[in-house]
Amino acid sequence: MDSSYSAISKNSYVELQKQTKLLPPDEESFVNNGVLFADDLDPDAGSNQGSGISGAVFNLTTSIIGAGIMALPATMKVLGLFLGLLLIVLIAILSEISVELLVRFSSLYKSRSYGEVVQFALGKPARVLSEVCIVVNNGGFLVVYLIIMGDVMSGSLHHVGVLDQWLGNGFWDHRKVLILVVVVVFLAPLCALNKIDSLSVTSAASVALAVVFVVVCFVVAAVKVVEGSVDAPRLSPDFGSKEAVLDLLVVIPIMTNAYVCHFNVQPIYNELEGRTPEKMNRVGRVTTGVCVVVYASTAVSGYLLFGKDTESDVLTNFDQDLGIRFSSAVNYIVRVGYILHLVLVFPVIHFSLRETVDTLLFEGSPPLCESKKRSLGLTVILLALIYIGSTMIPNIWTAFKFTGATSAVSLGFTFPALIALRLGKQSNSLSGVERSVSWLMLILAVVVSVVGTLGNIYSLRSKSD
């Protein structure tokens, strides 16, 4: 293809910015049957340097399977097994469709980030709003990670911490001090890395630890079911009281948190070896399949194990006798293993949070990977704010129900649906079925957001009364 773009030095950031300036869709220069592809302007497109499919799957899976899995058994307690499992599968399918639409239009409109494709479709204000949603969503997740680490290691109001069981009383009884040590010693070095591909190994390790957690829970639950020592689970929601209905209203937004990884799709796609939308779609489908199995197994086994006593953070339930041989050892494996998993997941979510904050605050500046001082400064500030948030929010249920009804549903469904409907019309690349699914996704997202937000507000007012 003939191109009017001249070769430039890889170090010439100013020239590159001039030649790849963002334009709104109606001003875009179209080639190749009306569409200007990312590869036409990106000298590194299709490069053989980057992560393979396995590395991309590990990173995307790590973006999804985090603290949210700990709240799934509690959602089963509210929804019942049938509706809970059905929602796990349906939300997975809708999420995968939204990811594939996002990848398609990001490629067509040479977008390098979630915010860029939102700007092409909906304008600059919508981009800023989407980036604020990423900050709220990712920041909320990281706060939840620290809350879980504190609950498990230091203990909570009704549960004993791992370190207390091992070592007795000590400085680790002071939850805030313990979390601060974890942030400084373990999390800060990983969060200081500048490329998400650098986290592929830790992502693989985190997925392995999550699988260990799921397998142990599933085996223990299966043993107790065979022994007949498990209470009969609820199969459908309880509509018998106002509190039960209120819980049902707020639990569905919590489940929308489960598959939200859209903010990391573009960074992972950018570093994918020989990237194409079809290759990224394979990554997404494998990841979704893995997550459905992990989520369904964890939700069912956790609920069967603890029944009506299932906590919002099911890890805290593993401080009691499970009624099996080697119960104490199993408890330690589950809790310590998942804490290590969260430590390895934390930097992956932090990566996209830092990139988004940098875009909001320093638009037009050189890429963050070219400025170590700016990258380190943002890392320190963000970790400090996340730590402060973890000392102020009481539990993970509170954090999840608000982010689920606002930022998570917007990032996972509202924005992708709007992008597909707007850009699909301009490029005539959206089929009738895809258009109908996009409308369905948009309507469901709005309903879940409105109902979930009203339910959260009513819940707060009820508790204050």
H or E stretch covering 363? none
Cα distance between residue 250 and residue 296, in whole Å: 20
∠ CA 434-52-194, nearest 5°, is: 100
Find the Cα–Cα–Cα–Cα dihedral 297, 302, 307, 312, rounded to 10°. Answer: -120
**Architecture, CATH, for domain 49-426+437-463:** Up-down Bundle (1.20)
Q: Which of 147, 82, 64, 102 is nearest to 386 (CA)?
A: 147
Contact 123, 23 (CB under 8 A): no
- What are the sequence ranges of the domains in the chain? 49-426+437-463
Cα distance between residue 41 and residue 107, in whole Å: 11
**Per-residue confidence (pLDDT) for residue 43, from 0 to 100:** 35
CA of 437: how far to CAs of 96, 106, 390, 409, 418, in Å?
12, 19, 38, 16, 11
For residue 156 the two structure tokens come to: 């909570």
pLDDT tens digits for 212-237? Answer: 888 888 888 888 888 888 888 888 78
Tell me the average pLDDT across 168-184. Answer: 79
Cα distance between residue 327 and residue 319, in whole Å: 10
Q: Lowest-confidence range among 6-20, 70-84, 376-390?
A: 6-20
**Per-residue confidence (pLDDT) for residue 198, from 0 to 100:** 59
Beta strands in 234-393 (DSSP E): none
What is the torsional sign of CA 358, 257, 140, 193?
negative
pLDDT tens digits for 344-400? Answer: 888 888 888 898 899 888 887 887 777 888 989 999 999 999 999 888 876 666 666
Cα distance between residue 37 and residue 105, in whole Å: 10
pLDDT tens digits for 87-98? Answer: 999 999 999 999
Contact 120, 111 (CB under 8 A): yes
**Per-residue confidence (pLDDT) for residue 253, from 0 to 100:** 77
- The number of beta carbons lying within 10 Å of the beta carbon of residue 373 is 7
What is the torsional sign of CA 379, 381, 384, 390?
negative
pTM of the model: 0.75
Sequence length of the chain is 465
pLDDT at residue 50 tops 80: no
Contact 344, 189 (CB under 8 A): no
For residue 47 the two structure tokens come to: 């490069």
- The number of beta carbons lying within 10 Å of the beta carbon of residue 118 is 29
Cα distance between residue 52 and residue 337, in whole Å: 27
∠ CA 239-240-242, nearest 5°, is: 80
Cα distance between residue 215 and residue 310, in whole Å: 18
**Over pLDDT 90: what percentage of the chain?**
20
Q: How far is Cα of residue 226 from the mean position of the Cα atoms in its chain?
A: 35
Cα distance between residue 418 and residue 374, in whole Å: 33
Contact 293, 192 (CB under 8 A): no
Rounded to the nearest 10 degrees, the angle between the axes of helix 415-427 and helix 81-108 is 40
Contact 128, 298 (CB under 8 A): no
pLDDT at residue 248 tops 90: no
Residue 47 CB contacts under 8 Å (≥ 6 apart), including other chains: 273, 274
pLDDT tens digits for 400-442? Answer: 667 777 788 899 999 999 999 999 888 888 888 989 999 999 9
Contact 250, 455 (CB under 8 A): yes
